[in-house]
């Protein structure tokens, strides 16, 4: 496999072509942004941590029967992925109240929901990823009703598999964001699963081990990412 041209550069990742049009290389950067790009910096070795954790999580989900874009981890910052036609819907799953749901509805951080809450957001930077529902998805022709149903079912399955895994390494999975796309006409889970896209709290102390340390200047940002890497890798060594 030969790595080709840079096709896309986002806030935290780059995507490169390969000599196979069905495959791409996803490269993780150390750049970090928050609050719609208003806050910008870099987190030393974040790209290495996020590539390793994402590779582990996507492989774990594949094993659990979830179709993902993950093919293999190539090196410390890159993974080989299937090319997807992305669906412009971001799915957030919430087990515990934190972040925007607290602000939007005035609820206290840390409340555990009886049932996980699934939210849909329109993936559109210029419009600041607004919250939407299934009717918006249909009206804007973002995907079919059947595809949205499958996306929802997959997100719930992903939540169960991830909650169990993170619990086994002493972490509460508070919430996370997923993105989906199509390859060969089939829905695949894409993007990444990392401390950038999940809220992860230590089960015993409640310490935040995710991007909120960067967002809210909580200190020890690199330490938190390294702590998550250590726990995930220890689990994979034992697997
Ligand atoms: N999230 C993400 N990308 C986004 C928005 C949210 O990865 O563009 C993740 C975020 O890290 C958290 C979850 O989705 O784990 C829920 O985020 P929330 O809606 O609370 O928004 P935030 O507080 O991050 O603005």
Q: Which domains does the chain have, with CATH numbers?
A: 3-82 (3.30.200.20), 85-219 (3.30.470.20)
Q: From atom 25 of ligand 1, which residue's Cα is the shortest distance away?
A: 100
Instruction: Summarize pLDDT for 180-200 with one digit per residue, the tens.
Output: 999 999 999 999 999 999 999
Higher pLDDT residue, 10 or 238? 10
pLDDT of residue 204: 98
3-class secondary structure for the chain? CCEEEEEEECCCEEEEEECCCCEEEEEECCEEEECCCCEEEECCCHHHHHHHHHHHHHHHHHHCCCCECEEEECCCCEEEEECCEEEEEEEEEEEECCCHHHHHHCCCCCCEEEEEEEEEEECCHHHCCCEECHHHHHHCCCCCHHHHHHHHHHHHHHHHHHHHHHHHCCEEEEEEEEEEEEECCEEEECCCCCCCCEEEEECCCCCECCCHHHHCCCCCHHHHHHHHHHHHHHHHHCC
CB distance 224 to 214 below 8 Å: no
Closest-lying ligand 1 atom to the alpha carbon of residue 129: 8
User: How many Å apart are CA 46 and CA 32, to the nearest integer?
Assistant: 9
pLDDT of residue 239: 55
Q: Is 99 in the pocket of ligand 1 (CB under 6 A)?
A: yes
Ligand 1 pocket test, pick from 10, 88, 163, 197 with the greatest ligand atom count within 8 Å of Cβ, gives 197
Instruction: Summarize pLDDT for 122-160 with one digit per residue, the tens.
Output: 999 999 999 999 999 999 999 999 999 999 999 999 999
pTM (whole model) above 0.95: yes
Q: Is 211 in the pocket of ligand 1 (CB under 6 A)?
A: yes
> Is pLDDT above 80 for 21?
yes
pLDDT of residue 236: 82
User: How many Å apart are CA 23 and CA 209, to the nearest integer?
Assistant: 32
Q: Is 45 in the pocket of ligand 1 (CB under 6 A)?
A: no
Dmax over CA atoms of the chain, in Å, equals: 51
pLDDT (average), residues 15-29: 98
Q: From atom 6 of ligand 1, which residue's Cα is the shortest distance away?
A: 177
Q: Who contacts 78 (Cβ-Cβ below 8 Å, separation ≥6)?
A: 25, 26, 27, 28, 51
> Is pLDDT above 90 for 1?
no
> Is pLDDT above 60 for 169?
yes
pLDDT > 70 fraction of the chain, expressed in percent and rounded: 99
From residue 219, alpha-carbon distances to 17, 18, 109 in Å are: 37, 39, 19
pLDDT (average), residues 29-58: 97
Q: Give residue 177 CA to ligand 1 midpoint distance, Å.
A: 6
Q: Give residue 6 CA to ligand 1 midpoint distance, Å.
A: 26
Q: Who contacts 42 (Cβ-Cβ below 8 Å, separation ≥6)?
A: 29, 30, 31, 32
pLDDT of residue 32: 98
Instruction: Summarize pLDDT for 83-114 with one digit per residue, the tens.
Output: 999 999 999 999 999 999 999 999 999 999 99
pLDDT of residue 183: 98
Q: Give residue 19 CA to ligand 1 midpoint distance, Å.
A: 34
Q: Who contacts 100 (Cβ-Cβ below 8 Å, separation ≥6)?
A: none
User: How many Å apart are CA 57 and CA 171, to the nearest integer?
Assistant: 14
């Amino acid at each position: 496999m030969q790595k080709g041209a840079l096709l896309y550069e986002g806030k935290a990742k780059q995507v490169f072509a390969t000599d196979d049009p069905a495959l791409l290389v996803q490269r993780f950067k150390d750049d970090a942004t928050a609050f719609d790009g208003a806050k910008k910096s870099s987190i030393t070795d974040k790209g290495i941590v996020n590539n390793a954790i994402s590779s582990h999580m996507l492989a774990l989900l594949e094993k659990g029967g979830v179709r993902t874009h993950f093919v293999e981890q190539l090196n410390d910052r890159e993974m080989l992925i299937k090319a997807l036609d992305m669906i412009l819907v971001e799915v957030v799953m919430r087990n515990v109240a934190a972040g925007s749901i607290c602000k939007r509805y005035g609820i206290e951080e840390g409340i555990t929901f009886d049932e996980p809450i699934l939210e849909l957001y329109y993936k559109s930077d210029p419009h600041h990823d607004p919250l939407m529902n299934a009717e918006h998805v249909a009206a804007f022709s973002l995907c079919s009703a059947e595809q949205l149903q499958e996306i929802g079912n997959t997100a719930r399955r992903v939540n169960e598999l991830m909650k169990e895994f993170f619990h086994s390494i002493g972490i509460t999975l508070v919430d996370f964001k997923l993105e989906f796309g199509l390859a060969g006409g089939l829905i695949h889970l894409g993007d990444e699963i990392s401390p950038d896209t999940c809220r992860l709290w230590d089960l015993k102390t409640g310490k935040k081990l995710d991007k909120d340390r960067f967002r809210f200047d909580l200190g020890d940002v690199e330490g938190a990412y390294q702590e998550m890497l250590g726990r995930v890798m220890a689990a994979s060594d034992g697997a």
